[in-house]
Structure 1
Amino acid sequence: MVDQLRIEVHDAERFDRDVESLLRELDGLREDLLQLDVEDVGRPDAGPAPPGSRSSALEQVNALLVTLTAAPALLHQVVTVVGKWRGRASGPAPDVSLTMGDRRLELRGGDAEEQRRMVALLLDASTPPVEGRRTGDG
């Protein structure tokens, strides 16, 4: 099974005034992610802009779309790469959201323990139940 993970960087203060910097930063993250066993890492298709509005392509500049198998280990590697990328940022780490299906993880601030806990919850929610294993037995 193949899934798509949407990664969005939310750092309006820094990147709104310097889109080129954001593009360079995301290109670096894309290269890091391509070192993993993912199917693809690209930019999401924004589709056509609604009539009378600005180009929707500008709204997609902060995002990457990772296509990967549904293996929990690979998802963990992707999230780890994103965390390391955030740690290398000049200045405060940018806020990043990771969305897969109806699950969303927000990485904000620098509380590493809280982020590890949130990543574990995303990974648990993304792991299909093992056949024969019963849950809820206490």
Structure 2
Amino acid sequence: MGTRTISVALVLDTGDDDHEYVEEQLQHLIAELSELDLDSIDRVAQGPPPPGTRSTEAIQLGALLLGLGGSGALLPVLTTLVQDWLNRRRSGSIRMKIGDEIELTGASDAAQQRALEEFLRRHGE
């Protein structure tokens, strides 16, 4: 039985229209993601931004596609890394998409924790 790769889209929203700032933050995130045993980290262009977003270009700059190998065991590690990264910045959010989507923020309130646990349960093996 071969291993499969799970594709995870991450979209960083810094809440800022400054392209240099968005790029700088994305590079910091990529550096931390590179420490994980991911199959791939690719930058991707987004389609039109969802209604209510601040900047088309900023959203496009912040889009990544990650390849998680194996059974998805890295998914909880990935979500912990993303939440920790956001907590240290104290601003912005990251939308994580695997079929469905969850928005992670630096806040770790009970409702977000329950939503994250449900998201991981749906996508875990």
Larger radius of gyration: 1
Shift of 1:64: 1.4
- Structure 2: segments with no counterpart, 5+ residues: 48-55
Determine the C-alpha separation between the residues in 2 that align with 1:109 and 1:81. Answer: 11
TM-score (norm 2): 0.78
- Closer, same or farther in 2 for the Cα pair 1:59/1:106, shift >3 Å? closer
Q: Give me the whole-angstrom Cα distance separating, in 2, the residues matched to 1:107 and 1:57.
A: 20
Equivalent residue for 1:95, pick from 93, 96, 107: 93
1:43-97 alpha-carbon deviations (Å, 9 max, x no partner): 01459xxxxxxxx8765202111111253320111111100110111xx421221
Work out the CA distance in 1 between the residues paired with 2:59 and 2:106. 23
| Ranges in structure 1 where 5+ consecutive residues have no aligned partner | 48-55, 129-138
CA RMSD, Structure 1 to Structure 2 (Å): 2.3
Aligned counterpart, 1:8: 11
Count, aligned residues: 114
C-alpha distance in 2 between matches for 1:34 and 1:58: 22
Identical pairs, percent: 25
Give structure 1 regions of 4+ aligned residues with deviation exceeding 3 angstroms.
Answer: 56-59
Other-structure match for 2:41: 41
Give the Cα–Cα distance (whole angstroms) in 1 for the partners of residues 64 and 92 of structure 2.
15
